Amino acid sequence: MVIWGISRLISRRPPHSILLSSQTFGSLLPQTRFSRPIGSTLRWNSNSINSAGSATNEAKIAQQPTTLWFSISDKVGSLDDVLFEIRRLNVSLTSIESRPSRNRGEYDFVVDFVAADSREVDNVVTKLKDCVKGVKVVSSGSKDSETTTLGVPWFPRKITDLDQFADRVLSYGAELDADHPGFKDLKYRERRAEITRLAREFRHGGKLPHIEYTPDEVKTWGVIFDGLTKLYPTHAVREVQYVLPLLVQNCGYRNDNIPQLEDVSNFLKDCTGWTLRPVMGLLSSRDFLNSLAFRVFNSTQYMRHTSQPFYTPEPDVCHELLGHVPLYADPDFADFSQEIGLASLGATDEDINKLATIYWFTVEFGLCRQGDEVKAFGAGLLSSFGELEYCLTDKPEKRPFDPLKTAVQKYPITEYQPVYYVAESFSDMKELVKDYSLSLERPFAVRYSALTQSIEVLNTKSKIVRFGKTIIGDLAKLIAAVEKY
């Protein structure tokens, strides 16, 4: 599906960083200057911070802590001022951890405390703004919080959270603009409405809707299928040419049959762990990109109007199945696409726009160098006769793919692209986006657990240590495998 129209702050804790969480707080911190190495961990009991209200504290401890991130100047007494303010607010502080800052003369801190409700969290944030820089709530454990993240936009944590996108679309598949080829066709509008209804009712874990396509729809598909597949050998990347016969064999790709999403999704699951999900219409950039983090691609199922088989003003089943699907069976491309999704989780609106632009110039309209030639891999190209031929001519400008520059490049949505970006390979493209994501203004890191199909926010020492142990275990397996050869 097209998005039409459209951190490194939690780093590895070095030996000199500090973790404060228990016993000896009062006498040490006023003298602490954070530019010097600190060789030991300082601890204190949360009850020593709050001398009053013990009954209230006991009730709070049962809740999950709220995590704050902020920066302070590297000078004597800076942290003491912050802790004094927290103590004055009478909240249960459970831990503090320092992190190296990207800004010279500053230190970043991650603080966990227990709050009764979101109002108390808001009060702490408001008060701390006077003595710290850039305070943000990374996660909230308050019992009345509507989301698990405050201070950053909400994002899904479990794959079932994607069900919340079911009817959260910018426009419905049944709603057509006056210039749409099917605007005056009542039967076509009713057909679209029925297909979008099935998408709205779908929930994760259910069987994807089976669509009985009409003879006219199959005929339209056949014209498009035959025309595009004739161009692929000379215009598409080799990965598309490799996967297409597998789609013919396993999913019923042929000119007299429109494949069902269920069959295609199962095939992708076996290849790369990706799945398809039916969608009513156009999602926001944020919702669409967030889904990619779970290796889920939102796909329409309705067909363009049969009166104009070579034109569609929005993504349809031809665009999805011919433009997008083949490359989601390729491991390198599949991983690249997920990297964009992971970078979008909790990103600012500005960063979402930049990531959506990167998506536009890669997943939708990307070119890739293969040997001495440049080939197309973007879905907007692979599903368009005219632009697939045009993009490889000398008419448009071709630039090397650079996420920093690509993210701010303007583009038209109603005409052929005047500029295309050329990647050296899918794996190179993935690494560049990984590096780019580290520059985003997000005070935490995330990882995807394929085992639980969930997102883990790496914002506590225990989570980071557990993740590290996983990496160590995988590395040991890698070494054992290498030693066998």
**Residues 345 and 466 occupy one common structural domain:** no
> Got the DSSP string for 320-360?
IIIIIGGGGGSHHHHHHHHHHHHHHTT--HHHHHHHHHHHI
CATH number at residue 89: 3.30.70.260
CATH number at residue 411: 1.10.800.10
pTM of the model: 0.72
pLDDT in tens, 156-187: 999 999 998 877 777 655 566 767 766 667 88
Q: Which residues are annotated as a binding site for Fe cation?
A: 319, 324, 364
**Residues 99 and 220 occupy one common structural domain:** no
Range of the domain at 34: 19-139
pLDDT in tens, 339-359: 999 999 999 999 999 999 999
**Residues 271 and 390 occupy one common structural domain:** yes
Count CB neighbours of 465 within 10 A. 11
Q: Which residues are annotated as a binding site?
A: 319, 324, 364
Examine residue 2 and state whether it is found in any structural domain, yes or no.
no
Examine residue 346 and state whether it is found in any structural domain, yes or no.
yes
Q: Which of 427, 355, 377, 417 is nearest to 3 (CA)?
A: 355
Q: How many domains does the chain have?
A: 3
**Residues 128 and 41 occupy one common structural domain:** yes
Examine residue 182 and state whether it is found in any structural domain, yes or no.
no
Between 107-121, 200-214, 267-281, 293-307, the lowest mean confidence (pLDDT) is in 107-121
**Residues 32 and 96 occupy one common structural domain:** yes
Examine residue 107 and state whether it is found in any structural domain, yes or no.
yes
pLDDT in tens, 453-475: 999 998 778 888 889 999 999 99
**Residues 426 and 470 occupy one common structural domain:** no
* Res 293: pLDDT: 98
Count CB neighbours of 182 within 10 A. 21
**Residues 337 and 384 occupy one common structural domain:** yes
Known catalytic residues are 319, 324, 364, 383
Q: Residue 10 in 3-state DSSP?
A: coil
Give the whole-angstrom CA distance, residue 325 versus residue 317: 10
pLDDT tops 90 at residue 254: yes
Examine residue 303 and state whether it is found in any structural domain, yes or no.
yes
pLDDT tops 50 at residue 444: yes
**Residues 73 and 221 occupy one common structural domain:** no
**Residues 235 and 337 occupy one common structural domain:** yes
